[in-house]
Amino acid sequence: MNITDPIADLLTRVRNGQKAGHEVISVPASKIKIAITHVLREEGFVRNYKCIRDSKQGILKIALAYDESGKGIIKNIRRVSRPSRRHFVGADKLPYVKNGFGTAILSTSKGIMTDREARKNHVGGEYICSVF
């Protein structure tokens, strides 16, 4: 199966897995998916992740996070920059998601990072997705 936008596929699998109440989801691995998942773990949106190498491209297992009432931590996860419409932001125009309560994930020249890290390092880049 050909996937046109693998990042959107990752975000959709996380969203659907959380709505279905799954503890762990599996996604085909890539470097950018691993980096995005690492940022999600650092921000507390997923519990943990593990990359399993195989003879093909590998599998990324993601343990989803839930609060004490059983609801998912992620309220909304949205892809911003798409293959058909790239969205780049400068260092001085970095977005605030939900007035700073959410997180924007950016692909910068210094790697995948959150909007807060990009402001601290004064770098801009491609606005991949927003999470809150």
- pLDDT value at residue 55: 87
Could you give the C-alpha distances from 111 to 31, 38, 54, 66, 120, in angstroms and in order?
A: 11, 12, 25, 28, 14
- pLDDT value at residue 75: 95
Q: Give the chain's domains with CATH numbers.
A: 6-64 (3.30.1370.30), 77-131 (3.30.1490.10)
Q: Which residues pair with 108 in a beta bridge?
A: 111, 125
What phi, psi does 78 have (nearest 5°)? Answer: -135, 135
Q: For 30-68, what is each residue's pLDDT tens digit?
A: 999 999 999 999 999 999 999 999 888 999 999 999 999
Q: For 65-96, what is each residue's pLDDT tens digit?
A: 999 999 999 999 999 999 999 999 999 999 99
- pLDDT value at residue 2: 72
Q: How far apart are alpha carbons 97 and 91 in whole angstroms?
A: 15
- pLDDT value at residue 1: 62
Residues ≥6 apart with Cβ < 8 Å to 6: 28, 30, 32, 33
> What global pTM score does this model have?
0.94
Q: How far apart are alpha carbons 87 and 37 in whole angstroms?
A: 20
